[in-house]
Amino acid sequence: MLLVDIGNTRLKWRLHKLDANGQPTTAVQQRGSIATKELSTSALTKIMPAEAKTLCFASVADESINALLLTWAAQQQLNYQQVQTQQQWQDLTNAYADVSRMGVDRWLAMVAVRQLNQVAVCVIDCGSATTVDFIAPNGQHEGGYIIPGQRLMVQSLLADTAQIDFFDQATQLQNGGYGTNTAGAVMQGSKQLHQVGINAIAEQALQAGYKVYATGGDGKFLAQNQAINYIDELVLDGLWASLYDESC
């Protein structure tokens, strides 16, 4: 079974072994990822495992991106299902009155965490936007925050300037210190603002008795805090867990 998580910037996938009854197991045979801007049916053919028999995917990307995946799946003659945000998964209850308004990545991250334990948890997903969700011990989603991610902060600041290419300057995010040009200063400032803000939210959650889980490429700095559980593929973990209630 091929599990796919399509975000705004990357598509991640895992190939899970099926048991004798055709149900997905925890055994991961292969995994990989590709930038969404590089997606095409030919690119998918090159990177996706030929052994896949069926496809389950979750997406917060544009429908044109989803269409590329579905075109590839049709070429491979794969049965598929797109998993959507639910009102309920086992004892996890969504706080949204209209669950279609919640990104499925947020929901699946909460599903993954709820599968791990049944205590009060704070789930932080640092993607294009950073989302923070709180779950009570009884599984009731209490709500949360949505905050611009580092890239969104940068893009909003540079949108009307001298056409500075964010991706051409992205290497400056890997370096410490101060920016030495406008693009660098914007990127370093956005990085600092994001990390300080998310650290403060995480610390407040810990002090309030929540167990904190984090995921997302811009959240790797949270792994330095031993009190925070950083899990790289939390959304894919939730997609796998959701198969107990939604069979592909």
Domains in the chain: boundaries:
2-83, 88-149+188-234
Give the position of tokens 């496809």.
55
| Helices within 99-177 (DSSP H only) | 104-116, 150-158
Residue of 152 and 89 predicted with greater confidence: 89
- Rounded Cα gap, residues 101 and 2, in angstroms: 26
> Residue 243: is its pLDDT beyond 50?
yes
Judge contact between 16 and 26, C-beta under 8 A: yes
Counting residues of the chain whose pLDDT is more than 70, the rounded percentage is: 91
pLDDT, residue 248, reads: 46
Q: Summarize pLDDT for 91-129 with one digit per residue, the tens.
A: 999 999 999 999 999 999 999 999 999 999 999 999 889
String of DSSP letters for 115-126: HH--S-EEEEEE
pTM recorded for the entire structure: 0.89
Instruction: Return the CA Rg of the chain.
Output: 19
Pick the CATH number of 2-83 from 3.40.50.880, 3.30.420.40, 3.40.50.1100, 3.40.1080.10: 3.30.420.40
Q: Summarize pLDDT for 141-153 with one digit per residue, the tens.
A: 999 999 998 888 8
At 25, is the pLDDT very low, low, confident or very high (cuts 50, 70, 90)? confident
Flag the least confident range among 75-79, 174-178, 188-192, 208-212: 174-178
pLDDT, residue 12, reads: 96
> Residue 167: is its pLDDT beyond 70?
no
> Residue 170: is its pLDDT beyond 60?
no
Asked, colleague to colleague, whether 2-83 and 88-149+188-234 share their fold, the answer is: yes
The arithmetic mean of pLDDT across residues 23-46, rounded, is 90
Adjacent-strand bridge partners of 11? 6, 34
> Residue 173: is its pLDDT beyond 80?
no
The number of beta carbons lying within 10 Å of the beta carbon of residue 190 is 23
Active site residues: 105
CATH code given to domain 88-149+188-234: 3.30.420.40
Average pLDDT along the chain: 89
What residue type is 241 in one-letter code?
A
Flag the least confident range among 16-20, 69-73, 98-102: 16-20
- Rounded Cα gap, residues 168 and 58, in angstroms: 29
- Rounded Cα gap, residues 132 and 201, in angstroms: 9
The arithmetic mean of pLDDT across residues 3-30, rounded, is 88
> Residue 164: is its pLDDT beyond 70?
no
